[in-house]
Amino acid sequence: MRQETINALQKIVGENNCKTDEAIRRQHGYSDTAIPDVVVYPQNSQQVADIVKVAYNEGIPVVPWGAGTKARIGLLPQTGGIAVNMTGMNQIVEYDYENQTAYVEAGISYKALQEVLITHNLFWPVEPIESDDCTVGGILVSNAAGPTKLGYGDVKHHLLGLEMVTPTGDIINPGGKTVKNVQDYDNTRFMVGSWGSLGIITKVMLKLKPMPEKETTVFLTFNDIESAYAAVRTIRNETTPLALEMMDNVAMSVMAKSGFNSGGNGVGVMFLYSGFIEQVDVMVDYVQKKFNSAVVLDEKATATAWQARQQMFPVFAGQRGAILATVAVPFTALGRFMRQARAELDKNRKGAAMVAHAGNGQIHVLLDQSPEAYAGVQEIVNRLASLASDVDGLLVVNNITDMTLTRRWVEGRGRAMIDLMARIKSGVDPHHIMAPNSKVLSYVLNGTKAVS
């Protein structure tokens, strides 16, 4: 990168907030070699806009960066360009508890946010599986969600508006503050899962919820996937759980490593009821009558169990690293898929674990292989992918750089699809500078190689 460009960036954010030392660049990189040329820490939206304008004029890639917890999942390695670290923008601009909204800067951490919200008995009902450091902006663009998305919905359901910087350096305000609003295209939600490719989110208007009166977690253990899935069906179809998770026996042993012992061996089903006291109680009674082995977890066990669930991937991955694949199938095919997939894994990947947001028909397959060595599991991944497609489902691999399966899926949407996506990207980002290494559009674009 030219020194003049770096000078221009320094002028915008100040010398202290513009870093070129290698250690910091590495923290914002994807591998030992693929690192940005410079990392900037803007303190307000105008600075973000000015940074993007510089990049726009010079055709330099800009990659917004939150806590970096998901970079591997959403971004491809890229050498050079500007990393825009948003964590300096971490203020709550307005907490309007009467209207149950909060307007926050995108770099605020999840934990810091919830700590403030709870002071008025409200919370943001999004529950990323990542660590507490992850930022609101990062959660939004990565569409991060956890088990409670079954009942609460995912990130898009808890947003009302945005302030964002477009790839041409304009500051715009999609959405607003009211829960109903049809005066624009719904760009607020469209940014969910966009991985920075359409602009940099600088502020977010969050829709909040009152804390529930009561929450109860129930745990069931079964000998096999089939009987666990039968229970899952009963629970989902006859009650209204907020979360409904299923862990195969390997996944259960991972939870045991984090300190959660279900007391039984086998396949676990963990579910959560939330809401008004009587309604929670009546549902818990109901499942206890249906399943006399149901264990209602006490406060301590509940915390341990959900913590262990949350830590599943990092604990499984350990030092070695792991490959994460995600599968979506119709709910009715979940049991069949998991059974067949487990049989397949037992043949030559006994160490792989499966854990499902069962109520949503979504399964994570954790493969004991480092992402760099994807070739070693490619064959089994392909077999699982075809099992998924046999039941009209889909498998994607999250933390590798090979986009073949995704591209095939998107092409299956219609031959005009890739072209349509490319036109959207080029329309809003004519110089293709905004997170050009973002996976969501990587297979769509040509000639967007990083400039250094």
**What residues from 363 to 392 belong to the interface with other proteins (CB under 8 A)?**
392
Cα 149 to Cα 242: distance, rounded to the nearest angstrom:
8
- β-pairing verdict for 295-296 and 353-357: unpaired
Residue 441 binds other proteins (CB under 8 A): yes
Residue 394 binds other proteins (CB under 8 A): yes
Q: Which is nearer to other proteins, 259 or 412 (CB)?
A: 412
Q: Which is nearer to other proteins, 9 or 122 (CB)?
A: 122
Residue 146 binds other proteins (CB under 8 A): no
Query: Contact, 424 vs 391, CB < 8 A?
Result: no
What is the secondary structure of 159-178 as a DSSP string?
EEEEEEE-TTS-EE--B-SS
Of 1, 93, 211, 256, the residue at the interface with other proteins (CB under 8 A) is 211
Residues between 160 and 199 that touch other proteins (CB under 8 A): 166, 170-174, 176-187, 189-190, 192-195, 197-198
Of 45, 47, 109, 143, the residue at the interface with other proteins (CB under 8 A) is 143
Residue 23 CB, nearest distance to other proteins (Å)? 30
Copy the structure tokens of residue 308: 């262990």
- β-pairing verdict for 214-222 and 295-296: antiparallel
Q: Which stretch binds other proteins (CB under 8 A): 28-36, 60-68, 250-258, 438-446?
A: 438-446
How big is the site for other proteins, counted in residues (CB under 8 A)? 89
Cα 309 to Cα 129: distance, rounded to the nearest angstrom:
9
- Please give the backbone phi and psi of residue 435, each rounded to the nearest 5 degrees, phi first: 35, 60
Q: Mapping DSSP to helix (H, G, I), strand (E, B) and coil, where does residue 282 land?
A: helix
Residue 404 binds other proteins (CB under 8 A): no
Residue 226 binds other proteins (CB under 8 A): no
Q: Which is nearer to other proteins, 193 or 266 (CB)?
A: 193
Residues between 305 and 324 that touch other proteins (CB under 8 A): none
**All residues at 6 or more sequence positions from 360 whose CB lies less than 8 Å from its CB, including other chains:** 149, 150, 331
Residue 332 CB, nearest distance to other proteins (Å)? 5
Q: Which is nearer to other proteins, 253 or 409 (CB)?
A: 409
Residue 203 binds other proteins (CB under 8 A): no
Residues between 266 and 285 that touch other proteins (CB under 8 A): 275-279, 281-283
Copy the structure tokens of residue 64: 């917004």
Q: Which residue has the tokens 């300096």?
A: 88
Of 59, 318, 351, 414, the residue at the interface with other proteins (CB under 8 A) is 414
Of 78, 101, 216, 311, the residue at the interface with other proteins (CB under 8 A) is 101
Cα 89 to Cα 263: distance, rounded to the nearest angstrom:
45
Q: Which residue has the tokens 């870093």?
A: 19
Residue 92 binds other proteins (CB under 8 A): no
Instruction: List C-alpha distances in Å: 245 to 280, 347, 359.
Output: 18, 25, 7
Q: Which is nearer to other proteins, 291 or 443 (CB)?
A: 443
Cα 193 to Cα 106: distance, rounded to the nearest angstrom:
15
What is the secondary structure of 53-97 as a DSSP string?
HHHHHHT--EEEESS-TTHHHHB----SSEEEEGGG---EEEEET
Of 79, 202, 274, 362, the residue at the interface with other proteins (CB under 8 A) is 362
Residues between 105 and 134 that touch other proteins (CB under 8 A): 121
> HSE (CB half, 13 Å, CA atoms) of 388?
23
Residue 3 binds other proteins (CB under 8 A): no
Residue 401 binds other proteins (CB under 8 A): no
Query: Contact, 109 vs 133, CB < 8 A?
Result: yes
Residue 423 binds other proteins (CB under 8 A): yes
Site string for other proteins, 331-360 (x = CB under 8 A): xx------------------------x--x
Residues between 12 and 71 that touch other proteins (CB under 8 A): none
Cα 211 to Cα 120: distance, rounded to the nearest angstrom:
9
Residue 16 CB, nearest distance to other proteins (Å)? 30
Residue 289 binds other proteins (CB under 8 A): no
